[in-house]
Amino acid sequence: MTPRTIFESDHEIFRAAVRKFFRAEVTPHVDRWRHQGVVDREIFRKAGDHGYLLMWAPEAYGGLGVDDMRYEQIVQEENFRHGDPGLCLTLHSRVVAPYIGQHGTDEQKQRWLPAAVRGEKILAVAMSEPAAGSDLAGMQARAEEHDDHWVLSGSKTYISNGLLADLVVVAARTGRGADRAIGLFVVEEGMAGFRRGRKLDKLGLDAQDTAEMFFDGVVVPKHNVLGDPTHGFRYLTHALAVERLQIAIGAIAHAQVAFDVTLEFVKQRTAFGRPIGTFQDPRFRMARMRAELDAMQSHIDHCVMLANAGALSAEVASGAKMLATELEGRVIDDCLQLHGGAGYMEEYRISRMYRDARVTRIFGGTSEIMAEIIGRRLGLDERRLTR
């Protein structure tokens, strides 16, 4: 593997500690979590005890005040190597919590961030609906304004951390008619009218509690609205760039693990009297994968540094997600093929990696929508070209 250049000695010390944590607190539970369809909520509290959640949060809100995405990248990479992709720590820390950190008032941050840092309150974000995923502007969930509160109605689906979440950032329309204004509302466990549906059975990510949510006239106090209730779309667009980079970080980490698992396999497994990795086809496939993974890793590391510098654009994040998840898919498919029949057996890690990997080209915005975002930025917007 090409040496990576973005990490300093503090990051390496941190990685060693995180790896130890995952091996002790996560690895032993993965099979059980996958079987029960949800991780133990206790793992969030343990990660919080070790200071691995919301590291960016200012000390005033219980965090470490370390706004360096390389630390979350390390947590993510160690989770993919020694944990399970169904454990959504970085979704909690780097995707959902920043909605509160960036758009919340001081009072809201005091109210919610310290408990999220400690892992006592688990976070989720609910944008997608049964009839609106890619087309977020078409969402039907609606919030009506009253004197000191809003009344939220509608339903959401495919929500990660959907059963465990104590706080859900819910996107809903606040405009009328053609006005597509959207607001972000923090719905808390126990609010009347807030109900979770079933945990959804999935192709992969067995340990992730993906669920439906229903909002039947939920009274949301005004002090639970994040920022301007008409600017939600802008807030989502900004946060989705970071979410897409997080998915890209996970995708390349997942593919790296698949490669390592497979390299070991092709060295051990023999056919026709020799290790299968020594035949030209497997050797060349492994060599090509090695080179492609190195190139992609360098680009993702570069994107992390762009994010640290506040220079990650929507189209660069979209490109990183599109390419990293597509490479993940190709690599894991090839790795499974190199396992032969064993690759199809649940007892071999590569088989569940194959199932888990399929979703990354879909969630957080599909590959096609990533291409749309990039294409529009190139001036190839259909509406402009046909005008």
* Positions that interact with ligand FAD (CB under 6 A): 124-128, 133-134, 158-160, 202, 205, 210, 359, 362-366, 368-369, 372
| Closer CB to ligand FAD, 128 or 153, in the complex | 128
CA distance 291 to 293: 6
Nearest residue (beta carbon) to ligand FAD: 133
Least Å from the CB of residue 112 to ligand FAD: 18
Least Å from the CB of residue 135 to ligand FAD: 6
CA angle 95, 100, 103 (to 5 degrees): 110
| Closer CB to ligand FAD, 169 or 258, in the complex | 169
**CA torsion 161→94→365→346, rounded to 10°?**
-50
| Closer CB to ligand FAD, 210 or 262, in the complex | 210
Least Å from the CB of residue 184 to ligand FAD: 12
Looking at the DSSP assignment, which residues form a beta bridge with residue 225?
A: 185
The string over 209-243, giving b where at least 16 C-beta atoms fall within 10 Å of a residue's C-beta and e elsewhere, is bbbbbebeebebeeebbbbebebbbebbeebbbbb
Residue 151 three-state SS: strand
Least Å from the CB of residue 17 to ligand FAD: 28
For residue 235, CA distances in Å to 143, 368, 377 come to 17, 22, 19
| Closer CB to ligand FAD, 12 or 382, in the complex | 382
Q: Provide the CB-side half-sphere exposure for 193 (13 A, CA).
A: 13
- What is the DSSP secondary-structure string of 229-280? TTBHHHHHHHHHHHHHHHHHHHHHHHHHHHHHHHHHHHHH-EETTEEGGGSH
Question: Is residue 175 within 8 Å of 198, Cβ to Cβ?
Answer: no
Question: Is residue 18 within 8 Å of 65, Cβ to Cβ?
Answer: no
| Closer CB to ligand FAD, 158 or 348, in the complex | 158
| Closer CB to ligand FAD, 70 or 92, in the complex | 92
Least Å from the CB of residue 102 to ligand FAD: 18
Question: Is residue 286 within 8 Å of 263, Cβ to Cβ?
Answer: yes
The active-site residue out of 243, 315, 326, 328 is: 243
Spatial CA neighbour of 132 closest among 120, 123, 141 = 141
Least Å from the CB of residue 335 to ligand FAD: 22
CA distance 338 to 269: 10
Q: Is 243 a catalytic residue?
A: yes
Catalytic annotation, residues: 243
